Amino acid sequence: MSLQEELQGPPPAKLVVEHVSKWFQQKRQTVHALDDVSLEVAEGEFIVIVGPSGCGKSTLLDIIAGLEKPDKGRVMADNQPVLHPGRHRLVMFQESALFPWLNAFGNVMFGLKLKPGLRNSERREVAKFFLHLVGLKKFMQANVHELSGGMKQRVALARALAPNPRVLLMDEPFAALDAMTREQLYGDIQRIWEKRRKTIIFVTHNVREAACLADRVVIMSPTPGRIREVFEVSLPRPRDFNSIEIAEHASKLTAALKEYGAHAAATGS
Amino acid sequence: MRRTLLAILFFVALVAIWSALVRANIWSPILLPAPGQVAQYLAHAFQDGTLLTAAGVTLRRLLMGYAIGLTIGLPLGLLTASSKFVEDTIGVMALGLQTLPSVCWVPLALLWFGQTEGAMLFVVIMGTVWSVVIATDTGVRTIPPIYARAARTMGSKPLHKWIYVILPASLPFLVSGMKQGWAFAWRSLMAAEIYVTILTGFGLGHLLHYGRELNAMDQVIGIMLVIIFIGLLADKTLFSPWERFLHRRWGTGRT
Ligand SMILES: Nc1ncnc2c1ncn2[C@@H]1O[C@H](COP(=O)(O)OP(=O)(O)OP(=O)(O)O)[C@@H](O)[C@H]1O
Ligand SMILES: [Mg+2]
């Protein structure tokens, strides 16, 4: 595989979540985290999931990633059932999962080194390319603790993009960031997504963020976690976070969340 | 540079106070020899080779026992952290044995091995192993599970995960455990050497012991200084580089 092909990437994947249910056994009770969740995601589609805390968003991402097994139902990626985690579906976790014993470059290299069929010099090139892409060329050698919160998330993004996954699963990646950095990253994400066309599933509590990024917004409600409604957002891209159209869509989403009794939890964070 | 200077000044002052105390003649010079006398002993012992031989014997025992202790303790700690069965058996035993002051192994070692190098080695190993096991175990257990999950999504398989995620992630604990193991090994060896004479080699502990027998206070103090010096040297050469690395990478405070 040539370096050029490597940077172009494989075609995005098609995902089908089929009647997935999940229970968690906790000390005092059994939590019904997901109840008969079904979702079809087209190739290269940008799906945003919104819903109040505890409605099973992270659990759903874990199951799609293959980190958790569903108790019922299954997930198909390109007509293959998902049984384990796999390089084709990378996760950007809710909390920062960068490895503190590696510097920024080392973190991006971690996944690349696990990818066969590349020469080491090519891996280094790819890692540099992605750190460049997220605007951190100057911070390649920086240690994790020396990076700001936003820079950490950018490294995490570069680390998730570098092995060229077909699906990117992002769990509230920007929740901990200030508004300015976040808006900048919306721009980056859209730019990267346009350029590299991946299937993305993105979790957020922020309805504006959802309207700004999504092809479709999936609204979930808790106890048990269910999909309640799916909204199409057919605005042209790139979208401006502060535009009136986004605000209109966002208020529609808020109304829907309210209808499912989820408003307080969704905006309270 | 300024810190080194400060340290030097401090020790010079310490020696000056010591001299002043000797000159004040409060205690008999047999109980408190002058710094010059101690230096003379050290120079003499250095020249006739007793000091270097003894230090060599002691360090050989220490490094060998310590290395064996680490080789046993590290994997054992990884095992207790990853298997419930090993945790409930060996883990509990390690916890118990770690509380046992390592000098307590000396009588047992003597009965088992006689007055041999084996006995010395055994005491040092017992001093090292259990604290290394406990530290490794704690280290592995406190790793945020998110690291392993992230690694798995990137295609990390169990063996790869242990080598490239679990071990480096627990490095801060491993280093402090190794440091603690070293301290225990050092203490237990000194105790053993003072306590038992072993004909195959006289260590620093023996010199200390004979210093007392001969009422040679200059020897006692001189050897004590050498022991302190070796301890400091080990700290600075064996552990400080690791701690500096951890400090730089993790951003954690120096311990
Ligand atoms: N490993 C686990 N063990 C036990 N219960 C769990 C586990 N993971 C999740 N749960 C439970 O499953 C439910 C859904 O959790 P999940 O983390 O998926 O929610 P979420 O929608 O991501 O919430 P948030 O928006 O706060 O991140 C919660 O009630 C949680 O307590
Ligand atoms: Mg979550």
Q: Do B155 and A114 touch (CB under 8 A)?
A: yes
- Predicted pLDDT of residue A7: 63
Name the residue of chain A whose CA is nearest to B169's CA.
A101
Confidence of residue A261 (pLDDT cuts 50, 70, 90): low
Residues of A in contact with B152 (CB under 8 A): 67, 85
Number of domains composing chain B: 1
Please, are residues A14 and A167 in contact by the beta-carbon 8 Å criterion?
A: no
- Predicted pLDDT of residue A239: 82
Which single residue is written with the structure tokens 């091995």?
B113
Say if residue A28 is in the same domain as residue A133.
Answer: no
Which single residue is written with the structure tokens 């995601």?
A41
Q: Quote the CA–CA distance of B14 and B10 in Å, as a whole number.
A: 6
Say if residue A181 is in the same domain as residue A67.
Answer: yes
Atom of ligand 1 nearest to the CA of A25: 4
Is the confidence at residue A135, as pLDDT, over 90? Answer: no
Say if residue A230 is in the same domain as residue A123.
Answer: no
Say if residue A81 is in the same domain as residue A118.
Answer: no
Distance from CA of A140 to the nearest CA of B (A): 14
Can you name the residues that pair with A103 across neighbouring β-strands?
A: A143
Say if residue A72 is in the same domain as residue A110.
Answer: no
Confidence of residue A3 (pLDDT cuts 50, 70, 90): low
A95 token code pair? 């909390």
Does residue A189 lie in a domain region? Answer: yes
Say if residue A22 is in the same domain as residue A127.
Answer: no
- Predicted pLDDT of residue B195: 82
Domain of B203, in residue numbers = 39-250
pLDDT digits (tens, 9 = 90+) for A163-204: 888 889 999 888 777 788 788 878 878 887 877 778 899 999
Residue at which a domain ends, from A145, A164, A183: A164
- Predicted pLDDT of residue B253: 56
- Ligand 2 centroid–CA A176 distance in Å is 13
Which single residue is written with the structure tokens 């992270």?
A58
A33 token code pair? 């985290």
pLDDT beneath 70: ranges in chain B: 253-255
A→B interface, C-beta within 8 Å: 65-67, 85-87, 89-91, 93, 95, 97, 99-103, 110-111, 114-115, 143-146, 159, 163
Is the confidence at residue A266, as pLDDT, over 50? Answer: no
- Predicted pLDDT of residue A202: 92
Say if residue A186 is in the same domain as residue A77.
Answer: yes
- Ligand 1 centroid–CA A33 distance in Å is 7
Helices A149-161, A120-133: crossing angle, 10 deg rounding: 140
**B148 — contact with chain A (CB < 8 Å)?**
no
Atom of ligand 1 nearest to the CA of A172: 27
Domain of A23, in residue numbers = 3-88+169-267
Q: Whose CA is nearest to atom 1 of ligand 1?
A: A24
Of the candidates A87, A100, A103, the beta carbon closest to that of B154 is on A87
CATH value at residue A67 = 3.40.50.300
Does residue A94 lie in a domain region? Answer: no
- Predicted pLDDT of residue A262: 46
Q: Do B249 and A103 touch (CB under 8 A)?
A: yes
What's the Cα-to-Cα distance from B169 to each of A91, B72, B162, B250, rounded to whole Å? 20, 20, 10, 10
Please, are residues A46 and A193 in contact by the beta-carbon 8 Å criterion?
A: yes
- Does the beta carbon of A64 sit less than 6 angstroms from any atom of ligand 1? no
Parallel, antiparallel, or unpaired: how do β-strands A80-81 and A72-77 relate? antiparallel
Q: Quote the CA–CA distance of B249 and B108 in Å, as a whole number.
A: 43
pLDDT digits (tens, 9 = 90+) for A57-99: 899 999 999 999 999 888 888 888 888 888 888 999 877 789 9
Number of domains composing chain A: 2
Q: Quote the CA–CA distance of A51 and A190 in Å, as a whole number.
A: 22
Say if residue A202 is in the same domain as residue A263.
Answer: yes
Half-sphere exposure of B205 (CA within 13 A, CB side): 20
Residue at which a domain ends, from A164, A186, A204: A164
Q: Quote the CA–CA distance of A123 and A110 in Å, as a whole number.
A: 10
Does residue B187 lie in a domain region? Answer: yes
- Predicted pLDDT of residue A10: 61
DSSP state of B215: T
- Ligand 1 centroid–CA A193 distance in Å is 28
Q: Whose CA is nearest to atom 8 of ligand 1?
A: A59
Mean pLDDT, all residues of chain B: 88
Count of positions (residues) in chain B: 255
Each residue of B97-123: b (16+ CB within 10 Å) or e? bbeeebbebbeebbeeeeebbebbbbb
- Ligand 2 centroid–CA A175 distance in Å is 11
Does residue A95 lie in a domain region? Answer: no
Q: What is the ipTM of this complex?
A: 0.82
Say if residue A11 is in the same domain as residue A130.
Answer: no
- Predicted pLDDT of residue A264: 43
Distance from CA of B3 to the nearest CA of A (A): 26
Q: Mutation test of the interface with chain B: which of A101, A102, A151, A161, choosing the one with the most B Cβ atoms within 10 A?
A: A101
A60 token code pair? 């759903």
pLDDT digits (tens, 9 = 90+) for A198-248: 889 999 988 888 888 888 999 998 888 888 888 888 888 778 888 888 888
